[in-house]
């Protein structure tokens, strides 16, 4: 099974993802938040790139049927219902609702994956579920890390490493590209203390400064949720 990893969404080559199973990872925090929201019973998540696009889309829904959610510069967008903090996506808040969601990098990464055969979302909180799903498909796989504003993000790389580590039974069937090898190496080295890796990343420090340290701790929890979200026809739902 060939494993290809892209460090940022804008480095993705359309010809490589075409016809492939793709996993999009934005562990801090977009994919962690979407997974949480679906696990807490939201109907669906619609990832959009622009704030205006989100607002226009919301006009198609009844008042109580949707929530406008997301962030810019890690903070809640003016006039929106929710920020990108997974702590806000409680059952009471999201159950049976459509979440119209826009974030700086994560929703762009999801949209960039359009053109793949199948798109699923991964984070540490569902790492095992994603790894099990990939193995059940037995196909070549492409990981797309969201990164941070066009740059490589250590937290996403460590998270891809966590998924690859769970996929690897040591039989040599995984054919990792160079970045895949780095991902697995980082996870192996820091397994059990992933925060020490996250700490070095730029986005960790942005979130900490914005008083979102509890979100970081939440996003670091491994294998706590067993769902695999799938993005298809513009909508994310539980697979």
What residue ranges bind ligand MLT (CB under 6 A)?
26, 28-30, 71, 74, 84, 103-106, 146, 207
Residue 122 CA to residue 18 CA, distance in Å, equals 19
Nearest to 34, CA basis, from 92, 106, 105: 106
CB closer to ligand MLT out of 98 and 103: 103
Shortest reach from residue 22's CB to ligand MLT, in Å: 17
- Tokens 């696990």 correspond to 39
DSSP bridge pairs for 141: 3, 21
Shortest reach from residue 97's CB to ligand MLT, in Å: 20
Shortest reach from residue 213's CB to ligand MLT, in Å: 12
Nearest to 127, CA basis, from 178, 184, 88, 77: 184
Q: What are phi and psi of 211, to 5 degrees?
A: 70, 35
CB closer to ligand MLT out of 70 and 161: 70
Shortest reach from residue 108's CB to ligand MLT, in Å: 8
Shortest reach from residue 29's CB to ligand MLT, in Å: 4
Residue 206 CA to residue 104 CA, distance in Å, equals 13
51, 84 Cβ separation under 8 angstroms? no
CB closer to ligand MLT out of 45 and 167: 45
CB closer to ligand MLT out of 58 and 201: 201
**β-pair type (175-176, 2-6):** parallel
200, 154 Cβ separation under 8 angstroms? yes
CB closer to ligand MLT out of 98 and 104: 104
């Amino acid at each position: 099974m060939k494993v290809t990893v892209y460090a940022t969404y804008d480095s993705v080559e359309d010809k490589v993802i075409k016809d492939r199973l793709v996993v999009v990872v934005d562990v801090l925090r977009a994919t962690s938040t979407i997974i949480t929201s679906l696990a807490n019973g939201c109907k669906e998540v619609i990832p959009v790139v622009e704030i205006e696009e989100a607002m226009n889309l919301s006009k198609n829904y009844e008042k109580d049927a949707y929530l406008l959610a997301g962030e810019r510069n890690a903070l809640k967008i003016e006039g929106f219902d929710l920020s990108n903090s997974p702590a806000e996506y409680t059952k009471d808040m999201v159950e049976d609702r459509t979440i119209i969601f826009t974030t700086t990098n994560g929703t762009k990464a999801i949209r960039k994956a359009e053109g793949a055969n199948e798109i699923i979302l991964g984070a540490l909180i569902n790492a095992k579920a994603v790894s099990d799903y990939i193995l059940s498909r037995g196909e070549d796989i492409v990981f797309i890390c969201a990164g941070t504003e066009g740059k490589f993000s250590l937290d996403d790389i460590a998270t891809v490493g966590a998924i690859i580590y769970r996929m690897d039974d040591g039989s040599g069937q995984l054919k990792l590209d160079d970045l895949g090898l780095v991902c697995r190496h980082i996870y192996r080295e820091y397994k059990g203390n992933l925060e020490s890796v996250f700490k070095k990343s730029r986005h960790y420090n942005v979130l900490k400064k914005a008083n979102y340290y509890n979100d970081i701790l939440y996003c670091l929890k491994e294998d706590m949720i067993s769902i695999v979200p799938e993005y298809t026809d513009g909508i994310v739902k539980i697979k």
